[in-house]
Chains A and B, each alone.
Chain A
Amino acid sequence: MDFNKIKSILSVKTVGIAGCGGLGSNCAVALARVGIGKLILCDFDAIEPGNLNRQYFFYNQLGMKKATALKENIQNINPEVIAEDHIVKLDPEIIMKLFAGCDVIVEAFDRADMKKMILETVLCQMPDKPIVSGVGIAGWGNSNDIRMIQSGNLYVCGDGHSEATENNPPLAPRVCMAANMQANTVLEILLGKNY
């Protein structure tokens, strides 16, 4: 499949990004570069200096809302992508409303309890919707531990066990590996397997 064909398939697809931090910002940028039609970017938070070690933002964007800054960055990379910024704390009701028209949902939250909330919501209330989650991305090294496992419409990228703590922080290389693995999984869902 050549790139024009790939773009023509992706240009009519919509992907929901739940959380615009390390996983969400990097995953959304990768999807924007390959020409996804529409990205629904959801985050309530603002950019802090500590986010710049892994999140796709710039020094002059400190203080901006992440969803809005990410929309700006995506438009600077590929103006053909429609990016919607939603400054919102997601809950089951809002998830079902905002992501109803998505072809795929990317779970890109920081907190484990929020990951559980969105996975339960999508798996139980929207069972036909593929969801690509990121779990276990902290630290450095151990590149080959980052993998994707699938069960039906649930896809999980990461090593499954490296929790972010004060002494094992999330850092750009490993977070971006998992985020780009999420984006790559979205492509596999939308384009089919590449044998």
Chain B
Amino acid sequence: MNITLNNNKEVIDADHLTVAELLKIKNFTFKLLIIKINGKVVSQMDYAHTSISEGDDVIVLHLISGG
């Protein structure tokens, strides 16, 4: 499916996709994340059962130290 991931167009090789599966496919293994789908925040306990659909705008923000 086609999604927008962190403002870039991406083609993900899957028909059905959850947030947890996207993290696995993209090898995002970080602990401190903020995830938004179409502007709505997804809480960590919902990653396994929140679906991503064709055309969704997904932000995966990996929080790292430094400031």
Contacts and interface: CB of A to CB of B under 8 A. Distances in A.
A22 interface: yes
Give the top 3 A-B pairs by smallest Cβ distance, nearest first.
A164-B66, A152-B39, A163-B64
Interface residues of B, number: 17
Interface of B: 6-7, 32-34, 36, 39, 41, 57, 59, 61-67
B64 A116 contact: no
Contacts of B34: 116, 119-120, 123, 154
B41 A120 contact: yes
Residue among B32, B41, B67 facing the most chain A CB atoms (10 A cut-off): B67
Nearest to B33: A116
Contacts of A149: 6-7, 59
B66 A138 contact: yes
Given A116-B32, A154-B36, A124 B67 contact: no
Contacts of A137: 66-67
Interface string A68-102: 00000000000000000000000000000000000
Give the secondary structure class of A's interface. Answer: mixed
A21 interface: yes
B32 A113 contact: yes
A155 B51 CA distance: 24
Contacts of B59: 149, 151, 154
Contacts of B62: 135, 160-161
Interface residues of A, number: 36
A49 B34 CA distance: 33
Given A149-B6, A152-B39, A160-B6, A112 B61 contact: no
A80 B62 CA distance: 38
Interface string A124-149: 10000000011111100000000001
A108 B67 contact: yes
28 contacts: A22-B66, A112-B32, A112-B65, A113-B63, A115-B32, A115-B63, A115-B67, A116-B34, A119-B63, A120-B41, A134-B67, A135-B62, A136-B64, A137-B66, A138-B66, A149-B59, A151-B39, A151-B57, A151-B59, A154-B61, A156-B61, A160-B6, A160-B61, A161-B64, A163-B66, A164-B64, A164-B67, A175-B67
